[in-house]
Amino acid sequence: MACTVDTPPAPLSRYTVLDLSIARAGPVAVRLLSDWGARVIRIEPPPKKDRGSVTGKRRAPDEQNMHRNKRSLCVDLKTPTGAEVLRRLVMQSDVVVENFRSVVKRRLGLDYEQLCQVKPDIILASISGFGQSGPYSERPGVDQIMQGMSGLMSVTGEPGTKPTRVGIAISDTSAGMFLGQGILLALLHRTNTGRGQWVHTSLLESMLNKLDFQAARYTARGEVAVQEGNFHPTLAPMGTYDANNGMVNLSASTERMWQNLCQALGAPHMMQRREYLDRTARFENRHQLNAEINTLTSGFTVEELVARLNPVGVPCGPVYDIGQAFEDPQTRHLRMTRTARHAVMGDMELVRSPINLSAFPHPEHFQYAGPDPGEHSAELLRELGYGDDEIDRMKAEEVVA
């Protein structure tokens, strides 16, 4: 019998997070926290002193998706008044997230030792391209560079073609997810010990970790993986095959899956072929095998293959574009979007967190749409104890906006 209880406060509602990060990776980490109730304050330079976001204008879909559930305070941290605003913010915060170079961190008073002097149990969460130390630590790092330097591009694409980038910012989003997990670990540690700490990761570390079994093939056996296109690098048959009205992905890597695939495609004789008798043989002869399976699948529609294979335990699915993916019945059942209510642009649908908690169902709409820079400056400054006259003076001096 299911438990029925009143919905409690959001899991992270007791925590305040300062988001000073730029680009994508840091905001992805903060979004993990803001979606689950953390009180997030995004610190940004006044518009006249802002070098511009690499992700585009704040009211564009990308920035709305990245900065929902946050409030924005525009303040010039390079001024004495701005530094005092930051000090007050840190005193009331649990986590500071940043991705500055080390020299910039120190100049702004944001390295761990400086922050500890303001609030001893603070958690500093840092993200960088190449790590906080080492010969490349001061290099700029972006997703495109990391996809190449991590080796990911070398295993992406069709065999014999040029290395190919993955179609999303995989190193940014991976690093952001890992940093978010690190922040949660640090908060647990602080609950147990009362002590804060410095949490950090990098795009390079995250991508090397995300290589997973491809990395282990090298670290454990010295095997350097190569491009396999749309086919699995160590298992067969598993990959993309033609139907007569599109393409499908299917997997038949176990003996039972293989036998059921042959039966479902009307080719039981393939089970007796010497070159396909076991898993090792099928992989060694995978190019021939894939060609033969492709001939068989081409005689069916996508819908027929999905209906034939899944019921007998052979995973099979269509190859969608993004629009089709979001309109699929299962995606619609999962309700992967929620509404953000923007004062100017109206309601827009954004992608929700993929984490599901039985004790805290996803809210029907996001608390905040992505804020315009400085949208909440006066409100947040009042919460810090500044009076309206002080706020007006700071605006006149262009310390805040």
Residues marked active site are found at 172
Per the CB < 8 A criterion, the answer to whether 70 and 30 are in contact is yes
Please state, in angstroms and rounded to a whole number, the distance separating the CA atoms of residues 347 and 339.
6
State the Cα angle at 9 between 7 and 13, rounded to 5°.
155
User: 271: which residues sit within 8 A by CB, 6+ positions away?
Assistant: 258, 259, 262
3-state SS, residue 68: coil
What's the half-sphere exposure (Cβ side, CA atoms, 13 Å) at 398? 5
Q: What is the CA radius of gyration of the chain?
A: 26
Distances (CA, A) of 364 to 13, 47, 184, 337, 360: 17, 32, 24, 9, 12
Instruction: Identify any residues that bridge with 200 across adjacent strands, giving them in sequence order.
Output: 126
Please state, in angstroms and rounded to a whole number, the distance separating the CA atoms of residues 162 and 62.
29
Please state, in angstroms and rounded to a whole number, the distance separating the CA atoms of residues 168 and 256.
35
Among 197, 380, 229, residue whose Cα is nearest residue 294: 229
Burial class of residue 310 in the structure, from the number of CB atoms within 10 Å of its CB (0-12 exposed, 13-18 middle, 19+ buried): middle
* Six-digit token string for 54: 């690499």
Per the CB < 8 A criterion, the answer to whether 274 and 281 are in contact is yes
Q: Can you spell out the DSSP letters for 162-187?
A: -----SS-HHHHHHHHHHHHHHHHHH
Q: Residue 23: which region, alpha, beta or left (left: phi > 0; alpha: psi -120 to 50)? A: left
Residue 225 has φ and ψ, to the nearest 5°, of -65, 155
Residue type, 146: M
Chain position carrying tokens 């293959």: 305
Per the CB < 8 A criterion, the answer to whether 126 and 132 are in contact is yes
Please state, in angstroms and rounded to a whole number, the distance separating the CA atoms of residues 10 and 355.
13
